[in-house]
């Protein structure tokens, strides 16, 4: 049977663990409450000083003393709260205060750390408050994806060509979050990203080109037209699809022949994208090819072709009505669906 000693040992272990848990819980909670109460007046004073300075005295330097009265973490908290709501001159003003308060220096030092968690903190402080031109570009090539992501976010406010070029290289980053942030930053950079993007698309193919084309489709700049045409014949189906999307977004007569040609692409996604793009550009001269696409073996292609025809108005609807007598039952079904849409002729 069980000895009393074994029971006592088990209970003692549990009692110690329980005491540690309770001490952690109460200790942390109590410490936070005391700290919050002690810092509350100083936090309020710092917030008020920044707000007053930014709104009422924009030409003067923001006062440093209220911020210096706070521990470093709280300085960052107050600056971060303000930074989330300001832009332009007010943001520069706030950045000046952060520099004088030593926050940007600390961020710069953290960015140079050998420990990635510190580099991440430093990078995030620079994204939040600005600055960091001397240290952040190097972090775009950091070995840790988390740090590269933050550097890419920072780059959205830095349209220098070499930074944009580095961002474009990161479109093929192995980390999903990095690719997303780069994509987002390039879209935020807008026109500043177009020229480097044209150069980039001229030199790459495959998946990297597809990522570039995705950005290009949201920038919709005519300078990207040549790249779209060139990549329409890429070996990678995703790249061809993105090139079709870009052509659809850019429109123009030159796109017509290329898009019509893509209606016979071996990959259904590309054919569907081409049908959509032709509909988007209202290319009525492609109506015959779109009608033929109603017989496509892919539902996506048939529905995109049907929608495109319907978007052409009366001529498209006439063609859809004719398709009701077609011998391909899938084409007939899709034509019927399109003609049944609200607003279509009875």
Among 89, 176, 288, 324, binds other proteins (CB under 8 A): 176
Helix, coil or strand: residue 79: helix
Residue 149, both tokens = 């992501």
Among 177, 254, 297, 322, binds other proteins (CB under 8 A): 177
Contact segment (CB under 8 A) with other proteins among 57-65, 159-167, 170-178, 239-247 equals 170-178
What is the Cα–Cα distance from 84 to 169, expressed in whole angstroms? 29
What is the Cα–Cα distance from 280 to 243, expressed in whole angstroms? 15
Q: Applying CB under 8 A, does 183 fall inside the site for other proteins?
A: yes
- Closest CB to other proteins among residues 59, 143: 143
Contact segment (CB under 8 A) with other proteins among 25-33, 223-231, 254-262, 264-272 equals 25-33
At what angle are helices 103-111 and 116-129 packed, to 10 degrees? 140
- Closest CB to other proteins among residues 10, 134: 10
Contact segment (CB under 8 A) with other proteins among 113-121, 231-239, 247-255, 265-273 equals 113-121
What is the closest distance, in whole angstroms, from the C-beta atom of residue 197 to other proteins in the complex?
Answer: 15
What is the Cα–Cα distance from 100 to 109, expressed in whole angstroms? 15
Query: Using the 8-state DSSP alphabet, how is residue 306 labeled?
Result: H
Site for other proteins, residues 83 to 102, rule: CB under 8 A:
84
Q: Which of 147, 152, 72 is nearest to 117 (CA)?
A: 147
CA distances from residue 15 to 11, 26, 28, 72 in whole angstroms, order as listed = 6, 16, 20, 38
Give the contacts of 49 (CB within 8 A, at least 6 positions apart).
Answer: 62, 63, 65, 66, 67
Site for other proteins, residues 283 to 322, rule: CB under 8 A:
299, 303, 306-307
| Site string (121-160) toward other proteins, x via CB under 8 A | x--xx-xx-----------------x------x-------
What is the Cα–Cα distance from 105 to 282, expressed in whole angstroms? 56
What is the closest distance, in whole angstroms, from the C-beta atom of residue 254 to other proteins in the complex?
Answer: 26
Contact segment (CB under 8 A) with other proteins among 135-143, 182-190, 202-210, 249-257 equals 182-190
What is the Cα–Cα distance from 216 to 245, expressed in whole angstroms? 10
What is the closest distance, in whole angstroms, from the C-beta atom of residue 324 to other proteins in the complex?
Answer: 16
Contact (Cβ atoms closer than 8 angstroms) between residue 150 and residue 127: yes
Give the contacts of 170 (CB within 8 A, at least 6 positions apart).
Answer: 140, 148, 152, 178, 179, 182
Site for other proteins, residues 198 to 227, rule: CB under 8 A:
218
Strands (E), 185-328: none
Site for other proteins, residues 33 to 72, rule: CB under 8 A:
33
Contact segment (CB under 8 A) with other proteins among 86-94, 115-123, 236-244, 317-325 equals 115-123
Q: Token pair 């976010």 is at which residue?
A: 153
Among 38, 266, 329, 342, binds other proteins (CB under 8 A): 342
The footprint of other proteins on this chain (CB under 8 A) covers a number of residues equal to 50
CA distances from residue 150 to 127, 154, 156 in whole angstroms, order as listed = 7, 6, 10
Strands (E), 13-74: none
Among 6, 89, 207, 324, binds other proteins (CB under 8 A): 6
For other proteins, the binding residues (CB under 8 A) are 1-4, 6-7, 10-11, 14, 17-18, 21-22, 24-26, 28-30, 32-33, 76, 80, 84, 117, 120-121, 124-125, 127-128, 146, 153, 175-177, 180, 183-184, 187, 218, 299, 303, 306-307, 337-338, 340-342
């Amino acid at each position: 049977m069980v000895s009393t000693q074994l029971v006592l040992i088990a209970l003692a272990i549990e009692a110690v663990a329980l005491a540690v848990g309770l001490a952690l819980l109460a200790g942390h909670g109590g410490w936070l409450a005391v700290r919050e109460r002690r810092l509350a007046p100083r936090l309020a004073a710092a917030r008020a000083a920044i707000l007053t300075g930014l709104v009422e005295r924009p030409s003067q330097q923001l006062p440093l003393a209220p911020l210096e009265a706070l521990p470093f973490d709280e300085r960052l908290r107050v600056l971060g709260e303000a930074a989330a709501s300001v832009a332009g001159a007010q943001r520069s003003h706030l950045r000046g205060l952060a520099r004088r308060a030593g926050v940007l220096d600390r961020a710069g030092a953290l960015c140079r750390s050998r420990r990635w968690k510190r580099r991440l903190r430093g990078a995030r402080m620079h994204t939040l408050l600005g600055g960091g031109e001397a240290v952040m570009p190097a972090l775009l090539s950091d070995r840790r994806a988390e740090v590269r992501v933050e550097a890419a976010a920072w780059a959205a406010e830095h349209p220098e060509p070499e930074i944009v070029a580095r961002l474009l290289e990161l479109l093929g980053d192995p980390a999903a979050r990095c690719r997303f942030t780069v994509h987002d930053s390039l879209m935020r950079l807008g026109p500043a990203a177009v020229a480097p993007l044209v150069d980039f698309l001229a030199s790459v193919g495959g998946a990297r080109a597809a990522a570039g084309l995705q950005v290009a489709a949201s920038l919709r700049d005519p300078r990207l037209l040549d790249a779209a045409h060139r990549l329409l014949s890429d070996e990678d189906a995703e790249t061809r699809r993105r090139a079709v999307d870009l052509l659809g977004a850019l429109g123009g007569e030159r796109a017509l022949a290329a898009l019509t040609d893509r209606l016979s692409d071996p990959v259904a996604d590309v054919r569907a994208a081409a049908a959509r793009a032709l509909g988007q550009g209202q290319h009525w001269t492609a109506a015959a090819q779109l009608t033929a696409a109603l017989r496509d073996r892919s539902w996506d292609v048939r529905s995109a072709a049907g929608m495109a025809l319907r978007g052409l108005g009366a001529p498209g609807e006439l063609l859809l009505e004719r398709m009701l007598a077609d011998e391909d039952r899938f084409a007939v079904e899709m034509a019927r669906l399109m003609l049944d849409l609200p607003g279509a002729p009875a």
